[in-house]
Chains A and B, each alone.
Chain A
Amino acid sequence: MRALPLCAVLALLPFQATTTPAPTFSSMEPVITLEVNKAEIHITAGFHGDILKVTGMAPRDCEVILRLSSPPGEETLDLKGKRGPLWMTVGKVRFESAPRIYMLRSTRPIEEILPPEEQVRETLGVEGLKASLRIQPGVDAALFGAELLRMKRDCGFYDTKGGGATRGGDGTYEAEFQWPARGPSGAYRMDAFAVSKGVVTCSASREILVHKVGVVAWISGLAVTHGLSYGLLAVFVALLTGLAAGVLFGRLGRAK
């Protein structure tokens, strides 16, 4: 428990890791550092996902878990069911609290380094994620939680498997996260955890901002805030393109 004071300080200042002076390794307190190659992901016209490279230092006898996640939010999904021979939407399921993105990397499989109760406490791993979900009352929470995980995994939004992080001989670690092209804009957080003997001994975090820029930001903004003008503009551009093509091909046809 000697690790507590420094861990407590880091936990209180999770978003100031960049400005915190480099921790001194001379002390015996376990400490983990975290660097992400970018603090912002820009969604441009040619965007097709991104890669986040994570590096840092951690005590050599510790395992490292990295978590990229969004603050939990509310989401309502359609529920499919069978009526006679047909599959159709039979209702809605409201998740009162679920992250939009949840991805893990670790130096060894999560279930080998963290017992279930620690996973739940730290919201790490499948058990931790499932326990953090809040589903509308009156439905089978375990069933719908598992189904949500399966769907989000197939979308590339959830990755609870872990693994993929490597340690260097000098106490460093590194890992990569593939940011999905469809990942929603917003504020996300990268957390690094050092785990020793089945317990998280210290952590660090960085904020990552995902947002649209340039023409993508302009068009998506206009579409939402000025729907009518945007619609008229879209029709006008379509008409112009169609007619211009018609004239062009008409001329080409005559020239033959």
Chain B
Amino acid sequence: MDIFLPVAGSSINIMVIVGLGALAGFLSGLLGVGGGFILTPLLIMMGIDPLVAAASDTNAIVGASASGTMAHLKARSVDVKMGSLLLAGGILGGGAGTFLVKALRFGGNAGVVIVLGYVALLAVMGVILFVAGVTSQVKGEDDAQPESPGYRLLQRLPMSTSFPTSGVRTSALAPIILGVLVGVLAALLGVGGGFFLIPAMSYFLAMPMRVAIGTSLFQMLFTSAAITVMQATVNHTVDAFLALGLLVGGTLGAQVGARAAKVLKGNQLKVILALLLLALSVKMFDDLLVLPRHFLATPGGH
């Protein structure tokens, strides 16, 4: 059954949207990543305008992360204290990132700088996570993070605070710094930042994987809501039909994902996320090398 997307201005099979939403929702529930980084390229491949795809994904992520956050709140795997500090940092970083984008655009070729930054970031995070997951899997350790060099580094900062939900004691500045970094990246790369935040929380804050996932969702809920309103106001690129279709699939997928997260071990989750990040990194880099089909394109793409 086809549906016409009023803002995107194109027609698409509704089951395709719901299916894509379910895939993203599953990842969201399982890994805490928003799924936007998978959805956006897939929707663009189906001929949806890139700006509309990104903005509508963000809108759908509001709903998907709402149900995901609730599921994780019930499972007591959201560190609200940590999440609030991350969010505060995220807002600061998001503002700074917006101006950085403006400056890069002024210099020209911002798009490629951004994509290359993405490729490098995903590859590095993927490798770190993969090695961490496989090593502890082999050693038979559970998913409690031992003291990584990154954790020890940030622990030296002042304002040491206890985070009971995560079972760690670190500086209150640590999550704010991470939040700023994620905010900058979110503004630059146009994604929720979960794919970066979760490994970072695991590495730098020594948070258990499951709490890192829940807390990332909590943070993402507020960030995506703010971005949706901004996109709708400034760029008029939020397609409500598209978002709702993705969301219906997303809520179904998120429930399945959250349940799968309870069954699967933290180390397995790390490996799955690592493989996803590496695959995406390769895909994005490949896109820059392949001869485009057309030398002229409607503005809004990469």
Contacts and interface: CB of A to CB of B under 8 A. Distances in A.
A235 B230 CA distance: 11
A8 interface: no
Contacts of B243: 234, 238
A48 B47 CA distance: 14
Interface in A219-239: 219-220, 223-224, 227-228, 230-235, 237-239
Contacts of B3: 45-46
Contacts of A233: 240
B225 A80 contact: no
Given A181-B10, A241-B247, A230 B238 contact: yes
Residues of B contacting A: mostly: helix
Given A234-B228, A239-B63, A223 B299 contact: no
A242 B299 contact: no
A206 to B, nearest CB: 24
Interface centre among A77, A215, A223, A241 (most CB of B within 10 A): A241
B111 A231 contact: no
Interface residues on chain A, size class? 35 or more
B289 A80 contact: no
Contacts of A228: 229, 232-233
A46 B2 contact: yes
Interface in B210-269: 225, 228-234, 236, 238-241, 243-244, 247-248, 250-252, 254-255
A154 B47 CA distance: 12
Given A49-B11, A237-B240, A80 B297 contact: yes
Contacts of A209: none
Residues of A contacting B: mostly: helix
A147 interface: yes
Given A219-B7, A250-B74, A231 B229 contact: yes
A212 B289 contact: no
Given A87-B288, A151-B296, A241 B229 contact: no
A237 B225 CA distance: 11
A246 B66 contact: yes
A80 B294 contact: yes
A88 interface: yes
B281 to A, nearest CB: 15
Contact of A182 (B47, B247, B301): B47
Nearest to B234: A227
8 A-B pairs with least C-beta separation: A231-B232, A242-B63, A245-B251, A242-B66, A238-B63, A181-B11, A246-B67, A48-B2
